[in-house]
Amino acid sequence: MAITRARNRLLNILNISPDLKAILLTTDPVEIKRDKIKKKFSEIIIATLNDEQTIPPLEWVMTRDAVTIFRTIISPRSEMLAGYSLLAYIDDLLNKPQLAGRPEPDPGFFAELEHLLKGVMGKTGIYDEKSPAFAKYEGRKAARLRSADLSRMALTANSILPDGRRVYEFHSWEKKLSLADTYVYTDVSIYNYLKRLKAAGENPADYKTIWYYY
């Protein structure tokens, strides 16, 4: 994909969040952009917390989670763990005429970024999905189901690579008892995984919420 085409596609995705787009298109250094983005995300979180139930509950949760993940991804610690800076990569795509040896972005990269921004802006469109299973029960059964639902919190997305793969940091359960190392793992591209499901006869639309499990 030519750099001009990649830049235009990225600009189109950034239209989901005009404020973020404006920050990224400035001539500020990456570190200044990082600070401005973190401030903007803080404003989104505050607005979400102050919302008086005008945001559908599941969309509210998605916004909160997506903002948290985006802030995590652009943090210096996550960049150190991943050995790669998503923010610097996006900055290069937008503001440099050439990728200077960096890999070209894969369709999976754009798909991940688009869904992440939709989450940040409360535009996931998944509110018509059924409520979590535990919401229908009380007592021990609800607790067990809720525990299973929270198991995904044992990992955190730390980056999105140019080929669309996510870099995760896994946290072992022992960390609540003693010091324990985390484990960094690069997963398969969700975009490519959904293509495989489609080739196998599945309907990718049935799996649309998969993008929002971070």
Instruction: Tell how strand 166-170 and strand 183-186 pair up.
Output: antiparallel
Which of 57-71, 117-131, 142-156, 185-199 has maximum average pLDDT?
185-199
Mean pLDDT confidence for 64-72: 91
Mean pLDDT confidence for 75-89: 92
- Assign 53 a pLDDT band (cuts: 50, 70, 90): low
What was the pLDDT predicted at 134?
Answer: 47
What was the pLDDT predicted at 173?
Answer: 61
What was the pLDDT predicted at 151?
Answer: 47
Token pair for residue 123?
């535009």
Examine the pLDDT at 81 and tell me if it is beyond 60. yes
Between residues 141 and 110, the one the model is more confident about: 110
What was the pLDDT predicted at 6?
Answer: 87
Between residues 1 and 213, the one the model is more confident about: 213
